[in-house]
Chains A and B, each alone.
Chain A
Amino acid sequence: MAAKVINVDGADHTLDAAPDMPLLYALRDDLGLNNPKFGCGVAQCGACMVLIGGVPTFSCVTPLADVSGPITTIAGIGEPGALHPIQQAYIDEATPQCGYCISGWMLRAVALLKEIPRPTDNDIREAFAGLKCRCGTHMAIMRAVKRAAGLAP
């Protein structure tokens, strides 16, 4: 065990945890957050996604020791009182079914829209490769990303 300070959605937390423990368990178990989620534990789905220094990262395979940089979860992508456009678009398009997958999709979308503000269908398809949505909400995700980009879905 070793003390480690991480910054999550703007707040510092001191953890007393094994350095090889994946960040996911620090967020869920030590900080008691509801997001991100455990989906696979092997970097195959995106349920555990967080931004570290703005980069979408699978927290399930990121040892605590390797965390350097502020962590953003989907709770932290909007401004207080104002949702991020992708959050609003997710609501407007009624995108989630179970919604267990949304950390991966929304945080990749945040990064995508920063890099390509007006993505094409193909940009979106490629940016989301590797993410899973078992409920099959892919069509609604596509519409939500376009809506968030200000493009007609």
Chain B
Amino acid sequence: MKIETTSDQALGYPAEVMGWGRYPRSHSNVLPIFSPREAERALQQRVGLTLLGRGQGRAYGDAASNSGNVCLDFTPSDRFLGFDAKRGLLHAEAGVTLEQILNEFIPRGWFLPVTPGTKYPTLGGCVACDVHGKNHLSISNYLERLHMLLADGSYVTCSPKEKPDLFWATTGGMGLTGLILSVELRLQPIESSYLRYEGIKANNLEEIFRLFEESETCPMTVAWIDCLAQGRTLGRSIMMRGEFARKADLKTSARRRQALAVSHNPKLIVPINFPAMSLNRFTVAAFNAVYFGKHPKRVEAIMDYDSFFYPLDSVLQWNLIYGKPGMVQYQFLIPSKHSFEGIKTLLEAISATGKASFLAVLKKFGPMKPQGPISFPVPGYFLALDFPVGNGEILKHMERWDELVLKFGGRIYLAKDANLRAETFRAMYPRLDEWLQVKKKYDPNNVFVSDMARRLGLLSPGGAVPKMKKSKLGTRGK
């Protein structure tokens, strides 16, 4: 008794969709992807609607939004598909989160080869942004293969050897080349999940740059910088260096026995509607003064990986402290040649506007071979700062800073961006045309589109430019 049916499934449900910054907000349909079949169905039934892969929404701006169209939510695709324990090669579906990987593989002596400052993103999202961490290379350097579903409905595998154009356009390609279904990632072996941490205070920008140059061989470095310091103390910061501890480095025998412990640091939750007022320039300045004031010239410690890599994760939903208007992150990179001058000029410009940044992180990328055509990392220094959107004044400031960044040959990180203009973006990423050719090859009709793609012109040249629509696929009752 076999019955064939051709029932139309609605393409997801309507929802308000936004990034981690909660700015800008968008409305679109969200279709949960439990298996590639649902993505395949979406390709067949989209009737003019555009699609976009989406993970945990940890990118700050509009990278994972697709107003009036459909976001394919990959978070239910969270299965491990294989693990080669000899090589540490993990094959996992795109919706697996970094946290799930850590919880499962730390006890077996493996860690992520690269990790952003939060463990909640998905693997797919991390590949699409080609994320970087405290070490020197981005995640694309540790990928063996990507398994994708393309606009024409074909399932393909790509790697630096196989379809390299697709591979490099996808790493850092912000989800616009196709859907990432699963990822083969090489993990790094560890003896313990603790880090030997060293914190060094730098009184100004010269000092912190010198520390970075001296730390070239340190596996992981990053600096926490006080953006409100001016004049003599401009650039005062704390350099944080770390490397995984060997088992023998752990002092107590109890720790040694549990060298591969999974961290479960207590989590705080920020109450909803935390007043945006409580985070003004004075509270930030006071916080920074206390933090820097208290920090000795140099500290050494053994630290668990949560405290070292993910200090922000200890406050779940901390993005809510910026109130209803949300926040933006400004992450710019100045290539090696002009790094010092560029960072100094921007720090001065930023600090002159008196805009408080609660978090500011400075980091150096050392020499590396060319990455994906629109991937962020190139040798140089970058700075990342958070700002409340408030009345929107900050966005105007950012446009001025963009001009300065451009003057020094620098660039903005798309995973954090919500505000860049198309012409500025084009000037910042000289290999954009190379990327657009690959987009044209694999997605000539712009099936995969995001609000960011519309804003920055990350669309197939010659292909139709899909508009934002009022979502025509509504809900259905139960």
Decide whether A and B are members of one complex: no
